[in-house]
Structure 1
Amino acid sequence: MQPLPQKENHIFRQVVKFYEGKHYKKGLKATEQILRKVPNHGDTQAMKALILNSINQQEEAFALAKVALKNDMKSHICWHVYGLLYRSMKDYAEAIKAYKFALRLEPDSNNILRDLAMLQVQIRDYDGYVESRTKMLQARPNIRYNWTGLAIAHHLKEDYKAAEHTLTMYEDTLKNPAPKGDLEHSEAVLYKNTIIAESGDTERALEHLEGVLKDSLDRTAALELRAKYLLELDRKEEAEKAYRVLVDRNNEYRAYYHGLEKALGLDRNDDTGREKLKELYESYAGKSERLDAARRIPLDFLRGEPFKTAADQYLRRMLNKGVPSTFANIKTLYADPEKKTIIEELVTGYTSEKKMNGSAETQTNGDTSDRFEQSVLYFLAQHYNYHLSRDLQKATEYIDKLIETNPKSVDYNQTKARIWKHYGDSKQASATINHARELDEKDRYINTKCAKYQLRNNENAKALKTMSKFTRNETAGGPLGDLHDMQCMWYLTEDGEAYLRQRNFGLALKRFTSVADIFDVWHEDQFDFHGFSLKKGQIRAYIDMVRWEDHLRDHPFFTRAAIAAVRIYVMLADNAEREKTEKAAQADKMDASELKKAQKKAKKEQEKKEKAEAEKRAAAAKKPPPAAGADGEAKKVDLDPEGKQLIATETPLEASLRFLTPLLEFSPKTIEAQNVGFEVHLRRKKYLLALKCINAAHSLDPENPILHEQVVRFRQAVNGAKDLDSKVLEVLKSSFTIVPSDADLKSYNDEWRQKHAESPSHLQSAYNVRYILDNSTRSQNEADLKKVLDIPSTTLEQAAAGLTYLDTWNSDEKTKDAYREAVAKKWPQAIVFQK
């Protein structure tokens, strides 16, 4: 390392403090002061690079860090900073290399070891994490969290014996027992217990728990573990007592009741078991008039007359109280048609009582009677609006009666909007729910619902204005900027889908990319907890977080955004291929001189475009850095607010892999993910990957309509592929057996169509395959597609899909108009088919 004079050495120590305290201006000023005296001091240059990186000047930071390394290759500070820069760029492999170089030069540096360990657990390199944690413990064995950190490393590596041994060794080093109020010790003891249990030794886990239960500060968790262990060990009598203790502590938590059922050995599918369970829940219900769970749970397993009696009691109780969520609470029972029928008969029966007062008697109860009557009508409006019992005409009649009685009810107007939505009239639904919002402008929930309905009606600007009533509009980017800062994924997803319906691919892709960025941020946020959780002793919560992060991108919001984004990239690729084909066709018609002129013109336009983009980037670079926010960090400026650069990519299929790769890895059982994966890989001519998607989709749903189309297209592509590698061809022959290579595809499609003659979606796919195999069948397909509307089970969504197929077949406007007219007769309120 290069030595510094005493004065500059003191300033250098100040630089480190300025950086750690985020006083970046002072830090830069101090580094300049040192470098004026010692211009080639590598450590100072490295610290300056680190500060520059913190104020979003990454290019200058990397350039300076390389200069610092040139000036002092043997400085662990230079290598450490180099690693930190790579880590900030999420190039974890290079960061780890740099950290290891730094450790060779300074093996005892706790800071470098800590950063290396955090990066290793971040990328799930558990072998390396164990090694780093072992070194940290050896260097400082007097610090508790070093022992805990090593135990966690062994645990995540699934070496339970070593993890338990590490915690036991620490306990043995304690001269005095930990005080009872020591939260960190209590957490460590319960953590050790979970390790023993995960190792599979439930008996020993229970013994250990019995010894520490009375001193545990998290008594609920300890009691839950004890009940779970007893049940797993088939000690049902003790498990019953344990679960009864838990139920007494929280008598609304369903999991405790389910545990108690198992401990009692009662079977919900057995008549005797159901009778005993009924008695059990009645005993709990009798303890408190306010208790809901003990009254609601029996409805899940009761059948026939006992169910009818229990449902009647439950519904009358809830409707008498006027609980608005009554329907939401029992709609899961509708999966059983018999129960759905009984509930409908009960509630419609309430409307025919002489006085709807919630009892069999005919006496009135004043306000109670009115409340019961309104609750019954509201329940029926929701009942007939629900997809399993839908009758929108009846739903409208009931909700209109309620609105006439109480026109200022937010709930009633919201339900009316939902009915309009199911009619397919998104315009009327948006207007109705906006009226509901105006009835209570301080209600964030109805405000949010209103914005969602507006987005479903493609009113992006209105929706943003609605959301702005509950956002910090003074932030950079206004309401939309604040929604990004708050990571409001539902809004970004709905906004993107609205733009996609409007074929504004730039803004749609921008929103879906923002959702993916949020998941990247969540993944990156782990860094803050790798050290923090250990120091605070929150070990079990930390383990839960790490395991949650391992499945982060199987979240429905990521899946939904990723599928939509991949579809956009596929459309962009198809458009680019179509333009390329059209240009080639035009070039073939030109003579040599015309072709030369066209090529020259295209080259000039490309150069002009590249020059404009370069000037734009240069202008952006000259702009002063954005002002720092309240958190001291500079706010990033969005250089592509409309997503034009995103859709201008020359490699859309490769760009789609950012979404597709995690989608297929973490949501492999989502058939839509396998469908879009096939589309991408087929276009990339990655036949084995496309086959993998097809086989995965086939294992999920062999009768899927989209899969049928893809299977036929894949067989065509494989049979027509030239210059295929012999090994690839061999795998395709042995693994792609859904349709034999010598099959008559037209006959195969006809058989499939006849097999699904009553399914609208399957028929539509069969007609599309018929068109793919022979585009001269378009007229017949158009006529058959129109007949699908006559099938009683056809839904509005399937009818809309039919219009998409007409676009795919390049049908003329006259045919499309005729199709729209036919749809309008069946769904007169739907506006999706209006031109």
Structure 2
Amino acid sequence: MAQPLPSKEQTLFRHVVQNYESKQFKKGLKAAEQILRKVPNHGDTQAMKALILNSQGKSEEAFELAKVALKNAMKSHVCWHVYGLLYRHVKNYEEAIKAYKFALRLDPESVQIQRDLALLQVQMRDYQGFIASRKNMLQARSSFRQNWTAMAIAHHLAGDLEAAENVLKTYEDTLKNPPPRTDMEHAEAVLYKNTIIAESGDIKRALEHLDTFYKKALDRTAVMELRASYLLQLERKEEAEKAYRALLARNAEKRSYYDGLEKALGLSRENKEDQQKLVEMYKEFADKSDRIDAARRVPLDFLEGDAFREAADTYLRRMFRKGVPSTFANIKALYTDASKRQTIQDLVEGHKTEDGANGAEEKQTNGDKANYWQLAVNYFLAQHYNYPLSQDLSKAMEYIDKTIELNPKPSDYTFHMTKARIYKHMGNVAQASKTMNEAREMDLKDRYINTKCAKYQLRNDQNDDAISTMGLFTRKEAVGGPLGDLVDMQCMWFLYEDGASFLRQGKFSLALKRFKTIYDIFDTWQEDQFDFHSFSLRKGQIRAYVDMIRWEDSIREHPFYSRAAFDAIKVYTMVADNPQLANGDANGDQSEAERKKAAKKAKKEQERIEAEKKAAKAVPTGDGETKKEDPDPMGFELINTKDPLGEAMKFLTPLLEQSPKNIKSQLAGFEVYIRRRKFLPALKCLIAASSLDSENPTLHQQIIRFRQALDSASEPLPDQADEVVKSEFTLIPSSTSPADFNDAFLSKHKDSAPHVQSALAARQVLDPKSQSQNEKDLQATLELPEVQIEDAIDGLALLKQWKSAQAVQEAYVEAAKKRWAEATVFHV
């Protein structure tokens, strides 16, 4: 316990606390120093001063002062509480929880300490500890509804649904008067209780409970959806039919309502007799309004043959007459069925010669009749032939040019965007970027086309142009310019594309900088949960809160994280293999003079950035606070790490924990573990990847590399590890040599370019003398019917990896040019 303060200083101490809570840090610091001049060793004041210093960004100084405060007042709950808050700030949650528990022992009645501990426990997913904390808070203030709701949530998240329901029921039993209908918190709590009952599997009781408040519920859509779902699960189909029809009356475009109605009517899409009934059902809804699209579009999913042809023709004609630009987007899901794809192509090709009667030419623009029918047909065909499953890029270009020629609104950029997309698929990223920029210039106030243009510029490695384009819509006063604002706004698509561009250019430090920024954004999202642990309870948004917790548990499954992580791991493994890459040597084969020159250039760039930072003083963000300057804007510290594989593990661990079903996660895991000589985790990744896709081309190479790594190990594995490897590593039969295994794989997949490339890469490793034959076989993959431009690019990268002769690489490029004449990657 801290020593008592005189009356005047006690008043000042209260001011310190108030100033901290209101973020008036300068005033708080001044008051704290005034107290410490009179009472130099007052622990609580030192602790509050440490808290203020931490808020000003002086973490190290704050920790030192907090330790001094603890020495002066070891039995002060304030000092321990502050110590926990400091650890929480640096994300050392284990130490923060320990400090909170010490503080709670000293002051068991403190609501604030108990709340902070509970928030940290749910943040750490320590549900048993969370239950205990919430139980204490409930016992202390049992009249406060939020404590009951939080207790129920704690049991729910811990998986004890019965206890969660009982907590909510117990509170309801204590109510003397029913809450008013407008009580949002009560309405949400009742609906939350209903979802808990349903989760427990007792659908009948969930329906009975729902019916008790069905008419009074504030979230009308939610209760209607739940009731329809419950009725369907209980096989009460007549009532379910009425429920789904009521939902469709509210929203006739929601596909899931139609799916529920189909099941309620007992109709199957596979049954020919039921198909006619389904067509009639959907026609009934379509006839209700000319604006309803779903009822006209859904039958195309299950109809076949002549019935499909007739329905598709009717649907397409209607859309073409209206000139709906999104017609192809609505239809393309059908293209996985080859017969439907061909039918649609035949129908639309046939519509080219028609004039689109019934109003296709009624509209006028600038006094001239506009043939909207032909415009819509040609635009559909341009998209059709640009789509991967029906791709014919020369035809796509022909149709988009005709569409642009027919366009009555020259300022409409939509068709020019599609033309840019066609160029992109041709591999001509330079022309794609140029065309997209021309589209952008047609409407300088449109943010969407602006961002699309920036993306295409990044794909063409125009990083400076892209940031300038984005800068047209960022805050002018943002610290760090447009890029700083994009980071603040967590614009991950730009950060990833920028990083991927730098990776292609061999600017690995900048690439890592962008990928690490994305990593940090996901950390921020996890940290932001703290605000919602208490906010959601205050606002009564319980169901949304539980959904958020579950979403956060798998947050790093998000494609933006996985893409950035895979590329970051790739860079770190490359640096681990060749440390020269950290010095700006993109190929790892520069001379000493070239390396010095590159290092000098990088140093100069760093000095320029630092000079700019000094010139632009930090912008204040609050009383005494300043926005932190980035100490490593070029990413030099990131790439010059002494432990690149350790840094790769930071990206890898969340992937293996949250995306184990993504084969790329397992393949990336192998690359890191095999370099760290951790054979058992590497084997685990191989086995997991094999269970997902045993024929994956990258996996094939890794299996052979693993066998080689075992055979060439400098020292034998420990007995237990060796035993596990021998029993579990059966991906290459013990009786088969790696060369034979590779030959069998090559023979099996001789028509697939990625698989052939994998087998040739493995053969190159197994027998370096076979390089000449490997180069010939690699060039032959360019003649395979299904080869894609991405495969050709990978093949060229493989030649560079083998350090093939310049003549060999040029011959490969010339062969690739014949097939992809527009591709800029083969015209460097």
TM-score normalised by the chain length of structure 1: 0.93
Q: Which residue of 1 aligns with 2:289?
A: 288
Deviations 1:333-392 (A, max 9, x none): 101111111111111111122x34369xxx964658711110111001111111111111
Match of 1:72 in 2: 73
CA 1:175–1:632: 2 relative to 1, 3 Å? farther
- Distance in 2 separating the partners of 1:631 and 1:229: 55
C-alpha change, 1:499 and 1:621, in structure 2 (3 Å) is closer
SS of match in other structure, 2:215: helix
TM-fit CA distance, 1:305: 1.2
1:689 matched residue in structure 2:
681
Distance across 1 between alignment mates of 2:413 and 2:397: 16
- Contact kept, 8 Å, 1:76 with 1:105, in 2: the verdict is yes
Mean alpha-carbon deviation: is it higher for 497-506 or for 671-680? 671-680
| Alignment check: 8 A CA contact 1:380 1:395 kept | yes
Change (3 A) 1:834 1:33: same
Between the aligned partners of 2:290 and 2:198, the Cα distance in structure 1 is 39
Partner of 2:553: 550
Deviations 1:185-220 (A, max 9, x none): 111110111111111111111111001111111111
User: Counterparts of 1:151 and 1:620 in 2: how far apart (Å)?
Assistant: 54
- Partner secondary structure for residue 533 of structure 2: helix
Q: Relative to 1, partners in 2 of residues 1:714 and 1:216: Cα closer, same or farther, differing over 3 Å?
A: same
CA distance in 1, matches of 2:26, 2:708: 64
Q: Does 1:720 align with 2:722?
A: no
1:478 is aligned to 2:505: no
Q: Give the Cα–Cα distance (whole angstroms) in 2 for the partners of residues 619 and 680 of structure 1.
A: 38
Matches within 5 A, 1:516-555: 516-555=519-558
Give the letter for the 2:169 counterpart: T
In 2 relative to 1, CA 622–429 (structure 1 residues): closer, same or farther, beyond 3 Å?
Answer: closer
Query: C-alpha distance in 2, partners of 1:356/1:186?
Result: 54
Asked if the contact 2:138/2:148 (under 8 Å) is kept, the reply is yes
- Per the TM alignment, residue 625 of structure 1 is displaced from its structure 2 partner at its CA by 9.4
The 8 Å contact of residues 31 and 48 in structure 1, kept in 2 or not, is answered as: yes
Residues 233-382 of structure 1: pairs in structure 2 closer than 5 A: 233-353=234-354, 355-357=355-357, 365=362, 367=364, 370-382=371-383
Match of 1:414 among 411, 414, 417: 417
**Which amino acid is 2:774 matched to?**
N
1:501 to 489, 501, 504: 504
> Which amino acid is the alignment partner of residue 439 of structure 1?
M
After superposition, give the CA deviation of every residue in 1:415-472 in whole Å (9 maximum; x if it has no partner): 1111110110000000001000001111111111100000000000000001111111
- Residues 178 and 632 (structure 1 numbering): CA distance in 2 closer, same or farther, change over 3 Å? farther
CA–CA distance in structure 2, aligned partners of residues 713 and 578 of structure 1: 23
Matches within 5 A, 1:613-628: 626-628=618-620
Q: Of residues 762, 784, 787 in structure 2, which corresponds to 1:791?
A: 784
CA distance in 1 between partners of 2:763 and 2:565 (Å)? 30
Q: Does 2:552 correspond to 1:559?
A: no
Q: Alpha carbons of 1:85 and 1:213: their partners in 2 closer, same or farther (altered >3 Å)?
A: same
Deviating more after overlay: 618-627 vs 542-551: 618-627
State the Cα RMSD in Å: 2.3
Q: Is the 8 A contact 1:357 1:373 kept in 2?
A: no
Give me the whole-angstrom Cα distance separating, in 1, the residues matched to 2:643 and 2:712. 24
Q: Distance in 2 between matches of 1:207 and 1:332?
A: 39
Shift of 1:740: 2.5
In the alignment, what sits opposite 1:757?
Answer: 750
User: Does the CA contact (< 8 Å) of 1:316 and 1:358 recur in 2?
Assistant: no
1:149 aligns with 2:150: yes
Q: Which amino acid aligns with 1:704?
A: N
Distance 2:388 2:469 in 1: 28
Q: For the Cα contact (< 8 Å) 1:12–1:30, is it kept in 2?
A: yes
Instruction: Give the superposition deviation at 1:173.
Output: 1.3
Query: CA 1:489–1:577 in 2, change beyond 3 Å: closer, same or farther?
Result: closer
* Cross-structure match for 2:187: 186
Paired position in structure 2 for 1:514: 517
Question: Which region of structure 1 is more displaced relative to structure 2, 405-414 or 704-713?
Answer: 405-414
User: 1:745–1:22: structure 2 CA closer, same or farther, 3 Å change rule?
Assistant: same
Aligned to 1:703: 695
Q: Distance in 2 between matches of 1:459 and 1:799?
A: 23
Aligned to 1:466: 469
Say if 2:459 and 2:497, in contact at 8 Å, map to a contact too: yes
- TM superposition shift of 1:497: 0.1
Out of 93-102 and 467-476, give the one that drifted further.
Answer: 467-476
Q: Quote the offset at 1:626 in angstroms.
A: 3.9
The 5 Å alignment of 1:186-225 reads: 186-225=187-226
Picking from 784, 787, 802, the partner of 1:809 is: 802
Change (3 A) 1:364 1:638: closer
Name which of 659, 664, 687 aligns with 2:651.
659
> Relative to 1, partners in 2 of residues 1:725 and 1:678: Cα closer, same or farther, differing over 3 Å?
same
Partner in structure 1 of residue 600 of structure 2: none
Distance, in Å, in 1 between the alignment partners of 2:501 and 2:123 is: 36
Change (3 A) 1:579 1:78: closer
Aligned to 1:603: none
Aligned residues: 800
| Alignment partners' CA distance in 2, 1:377 and 1:825 | 28
- How far is 1:622 from its partner? 12
Counterparts of 2:394 and 2:328, CA distance in 1: 19
- Name which of structure 1's ranges 93-102 and 404-413 shifts more when overlaid on structure 2: 404-413
Partner AA of 1:525 in structure 2: D
Contact kept, 8 Å, 2:361 with 2:372, in 1: the verdict is: no
Alpha-carbon separation, structure 2, partners of 1:226 and 1:356: 45
Partner SS state of residue 629, structure 1: strand
Residues 357 and 365 of structure 1 are in contact (CA less than 8 Å); yes or no, is this contact kept in structure 2? no
- Give the stretch that moved more between structures: 57-66 or 211-220: 211-220
Quick check: 1:678 aligned with 2:679? no
How far does the alpha carbon of each residue in 1:13-48 deviate from its partner, in whole angstroms, 9 at most, with x for none? 111111111111111011001000000000000000
- Cα distance in 1, alignment partners of residues 378 and 623 from structure 2: 52
User: Structure 1: how far apart are the matches of 2:405 and 2:317?
Assistant: 24
Gaps of 5+ in 1: 581-597, 599-611
Q: Distance in 2 between matches of 1:540 and 1:633?
A: 36
Say if 2:508 and 2:582, in contact at 8 Å, map to a contact too.
no
Give the secondary-structure state (helix, strand or coil) at the position aligned to 2:263: helix
**In 2, Cα distance between equivalents of 1:713 and 1:76:** 57
Cα distance in 2 between the residues matched to 1:619 and 1:28: 32
Aligned-partner Cα distance in 1 for 2:518–2:437: 26
* Secondary structure of the structure 2 residue equivalent to 1:215: coil
The corresponding residue for 2:823 is 830
Q: Is the 8 A contact 1:357 1:370 kept in 2?
A: no
What amino acid is aligned across from residue 411 of structure 1 in structure 2? T
Q: Give me the TM-score of the superposition, normalised by structure 2.
A: 0.94
Contact in 2 for aligned 1:31/1:44 (Cα 8 Å): yes
User: Match of 2:739, as an amino acid?
Assistant: K
